[in-house]
Amino acid sequence: MKQYLKIDEWSIIEESFDPQTQEISESVFSIGNGYMGGRANFEEQYSGNSLQGSYMAGVYYPDKTRVGWWKNGYPEYFAKVLNSTNWIGINIDIDGTALDLAKCTVSEFHRELNMKEGTLSRSFTATLADGKEVKVESIRLVSMVRQEIGAIRYSIQPLNFAGTITVTPYLDGDVKNKDSNYDEKFWNEVEKKGLPDGGYLTLKTKKLDFHVTSAMAFDIFKGDELLSIEAEAVEQDKYVASVITLPVQSGDQIVLYKYVANVTSRNHGLGQLIDAATTALQSAKEAGFATLLTEQSEAWRDKWKESDIVIEGDVSAQQAIRFNIFQLNQTYNGEDDRLNIGPKGFTGEKYGGSTYWDTEAYCVPFYLSTADSTIARNLLIYRYKHLEKAKENARKLGFTKGALYPMVTMNGEECHNEWEITFEEIHRNGAIAYAVYNYVNYTGDKAYLGQYGLEVLVEISRFWEERVHLVPHKDKYVMLGVTGPNEYENNVNNNWYTNRMASWTLEYTLEALAYLQENEASRYAELADKLELLESETEKWAEIIAKMYYPADEERGIFLQQDGFLDKDLMLVKDIPQENLPLNQKWSWDRILRSCFIKQADVLQGLFFLGDRYDLETKKRNFDFYEPLTVHESSLSPCIHAILACELGYMEKAYEMYLRTSRLDLDNYNNDTEDGCHSTSMAGTWMSIVHGFGGFRVLDGRVVLKPSNPGHWTSYAFKIMFRGSRLKVNVTDLEVTVTNETEVPASITIYDQEYTVNGLSSITAQGSSITV
Ligand code: BGC
């Protein structure tokens, strides 16, 4: 863990340049707009360690699978988020020497991610080997308003010399993915044109034919004077540039405004790409950089209005939660239902494909509460559209019916290729079913079941039906050979979480069927016909529910993570020598698998999802047993523990977990932020405040709040959008105030007391402590 970023309410700030932390900063300072984004690479050349990354959402590459030992059922490819044209590049050459921060002395370095306004800026003074000094300031944005537009203002000022500065804005498509399986490059050039005032470049992927056109234009100023200089146009393989050479005096300020449009064949016909790019580009350039900045800050002001969380009395926690919310809003905006939320968003390559169970388990709750419900609905429909592929996937693994959604996917096909995860970590199906419930329970949109939800539920139920089997001597249904959420043990029997989510899915499917039969009889009949639903199936599901086996330890009063868990050598995380952590970087895999140490919430994940079915005592016993064994080496872990700790009144633990989830990337807790940020777990951070400290649940169509104060904050306030209303919940030590910012009244329960918050008004409830 290295804390080098300055604490600030609205910005992430780095105040000196350290090549050792450059790749971490490239991840943390990433910017994007849901359509495209990229790491905070420098505009000018940089020869130090760096992961260059510009990404276009949904543009991927099916990289041929690479495994040591092929197993039947493995996917042919791993879909990689594709590093695409580097559009931010501006090379600077000073009297024949490239400006390269790895090769000069850097002072007064300042890098800032301004989360209020949505910009990334940087300034520094560089002293070259020959003593020449320049001052540089840059600011860039990826527009939240014009999704295809990115823009940069880059200024350079010689401080102690007269000479020649060459400024070269360029588009470079000769890029590669660090995680390429066979060290291949993934792009071919289609067309390019270098022009005296810009240029364009069209590339297409070697497989799948995604086309991306990037077009750039620029204005260059000396002081306030717009220079009408003809740049020298340069064309090379997959590269266009405009070379501008200027004589300068000490103190002159050269300012380049670089505008870029990146358009893809996902949104435009192949014949229209250049036109589309040029039109978007011209309009952005005509609007000008100042207008783009204003549009950007207005768009972010609106986003913050819906999703900001304000923490008084703890700037570090405040910065952290805003960082998480900012990154989530940069990663996914719900406007394109073909897209999903990759675990690294636009901040890195790792984890390749775009969709994990992270979306349903962690991100759906965030979008349900902070955006229009169509966004969460789009995330669900994404899975609905993949249902046929999920059925094919189940067939491929030998199932005669049902659907197994992939562990990792881009287009519905499985991409993951480690047998213990691809074939065994099937609990993901439970999270997908749970998201349907969560959405319907939250929004009240029961029509969704008949439209899309039921088909998904039935096919997942059919999978569970075939995946369990009855053991006659126990008269119980068991599920063998699975990996639960805790990936630090594989191929276990009867993972409590998986068994529980399987039988829960069956229950919910039966409930949804009954609802439709009663309320939408003709749709029910249509679906029963389409799905060829048999009475014998639903009877079987009821039997499985009644006879599902749940491993438990009666003596301790806990659910067992799996049949053999108590045979392990039980030790506590607090007794692991510090230098052995993180285990996944210090221990052999074999040692990890045999140990009792848990990567992330497993039994506790189930107690969170199905929280209204278990009493506090049960949660407490399980938390007290499992949390001390948990190393939280998945970014998805601390948030679930924070939420349960709040429920149990373990406020110090909750706060510790909150800090760990919220500052995971800012403080590089897991020593891996250089690969990219943990974008999906950021939704978990939001959950730890809203569902954790705020105690927010939706029960019987009502907002239920049981807020508690972690003790380190004077107050905190969060927003929830609920069935047409937007509520601001402000919590101090003594009271909870709920303000309805809309005209739609809301029924809420605070500490078991019922209230109606009328439109544009507030209610206040007195604080209460939670005891177990
Ligand atoms: C976690 C999974 C998660 C994946 C992507 C893994 O480390 O164990 O639960 O889906 O990361 O975030």
Q: Which domain holds residue 515?
A: 372-590
> Atom 7, ligand 1: which residue's CA is nearest?
634
Distance between CA 427 and CA 484 in Å, rounded? Answer: 6
Predicted pLDDT at 3: 84
Q: Tell me, what CATH number does 174's domain have?
A: 2.70.98.40
389 & 489 share domain: yes
Predicted pLDDT at 669: 86
- 441 CA distance to ligand 1 centroid (A)? 26
Residue 725 lies in a domain: no
For CA atoms 655, 661, 666, 672, give the dihedral sign: positive
Ligand 1: atom nearest CA of 681 is 12
Neighbours of 62 (CB within 10 A): 21
Predicted pLDDT at 768: 57
273 & 405 share domain: no
The structure tokens 């140490």 sit at: 597
Per-residue tokens: 162: 């007269």
Residue 150 lies in a domain: yes
- 407 CA distance to ligand 1 centroid (A)? 9
Report the Cα 340 to chain-centroid distance in Å.
9
Distance between CA 138 and CA 40 in Å, rounded? Answer: 12
Residues near ligand 1 with C-beta < 6 Å? 343, 351, 356-358, 485, 487, 599-600, 634, 636, 680
Domain boundary among 590, 623, 656: 590
Residue 44 lies in a domain: yes
Ligand 1: atom nearest CA of 678 is 12
> Atom 9, ligand 1: which residue's CA is nearest?
485
Secondary structure (3-state) at 82: strand
- 605 CA distance to ligand 1 centroid (A)? 13
Amino acid in position 692: G
Residue 80 lies in a domain: yes
Secondary structure (3-state) at 467: helix
296 & 389 share domain: no
Report the residue among 328, 357, 358 best suited for mutation to probe ligand 1: largest number of ligand atoms under 8 A from its CB. Answer: 358
Residues in the chain: 772
HEC readout, 585-634: HHCCHHHHHHCCCECCCCHHHHHHHCHHHCCHHHHHHHHHHHHHHECCCC
Ligand 1: atom nearest CA of 351 is 5
Q: Smallest Cα–Cα separation from 158: which of 132, 129, 189, 193? A: 132
- 340 CA distance to ligand 1 centroid (A)? 15
Residue 461 lies in a domain: yes
272 & 409 share domain: no
599 is in an annotated binding site: yes
286 & 424 share domain: no
Q: Tell me, what CATH number does 523's domain have?
A: 1.50.10.10
Predicted pLDDT at 711: 87
The structure tokens 């039994």 sit at: 603
286 & 203 share domain: yes
Ligand 1: atom nearest CA of 634 is 7
706 is in an annotated binding site: no
Cis peptide before 582 (omega within 30 of 0): yes
Report the residue among 341, 426, 634, 677 best suited for mutation to probe ligand 1: largest number of ligand atoms under 8 A from its CB. Answer: 634
Residue 377 lies in a domain: yes
> Atom 6, ligand 1: which residue's CA is nearest?
634
Report the residue among 331, 340, 356, 608 best suited for mutation to probe ligand 1: largest number of ligand atoms under 8 A from its CB. Answer: 356
Domain boundary among 547, 575, 590: 590
380 & 275 share domain: no
421 & 560 share domain: yes
Amino acid in position 573: V
Residue 582 lies in a domain: yes
285 & 394 share domain: no
pLDDT along the chain (772 residues), means of 10: 90 97 98 97 98 96 92 92 96 98 98 98 98 98 98 98 98 95 95 95 97 98 94 97 97 98 98 98 98 98 95 95 97 91 92 88 96 95 98 97 97 94 98 98 98 98 98 98 98 98 98 98 98 98 98 98 98 97 96 98 98 98 98 95 97 94 92 93 96 97 94 94 97 93 96 95 77 32
Residue 762 lies in a domain: no
Residue 409 near residue 334, CB atoms below 8 Å: no
Distance between CA 147 and CA 201 in Å, rounded? Answer: 18
271 & 381 share domain: no
pTM of the model: 0.95
Distance between CA 508 and CA 540 in Å, rounded? Answer: 14
Report the Cα 643 to chain-centroid distance in Å.
19
As for how many domains the chain has, the answer is 2
Ligand 1: atom nearest CA of 428 is 10
> Atom 11, ligand 1: which residue's CA is nearest?
634
Task: Give one word for 155, left, alpha or beta, with left for phi > 0 and alpha for psi -120 to 50.
Answer: beta
Domain boundary among 286, 305, 324: 305
425 & 549 share domain: yes
Instruction: Tell me how far apart the terminal alpha carbons of the chain are, to the nearest angstrom.
Output: 34
Predicted pLDDT at 656: 94
280 & 413 share domain: no
> Which of 202-226 are b and which e, b meaning 16 or more Cβ less than 10 Å from the residue's Cβ?
bbbbeebebbbbbbbbbbbebeeee
- 379 CA distance to ligand 1 centroid (A)? 18
- 634 CA distance to ligand 1 centroid (A)? 6
Report the residue among 415, 593, 599, 636 best suited for mutation to probe ligand 1: largest number of ligand atoms under 8 A from its CB. Answer: 636
- 376 CA distance to ligand 1 centroid (A)? 21
Q: Is 90 exposed, middle or buried (0-12, 13-18, 19+ CB in 10 A)?
A: buried
357 is in an annotated binding site: yes
List alpha helices for 663-709, DSSP H: 679-687
70 is in an annotated binding site: no
| Residues with a known catalytic role | 487
Ligand 1: atom nearest CA of 358 is 10
Q: Smallest Cα–Cα separation from 682: which of 713, 660, 698? A: 660
> Atom 1, ligand 1: which residue's CA is nearest?
634
Residue 276 near residue 262, CB atoms below 8 Å: no
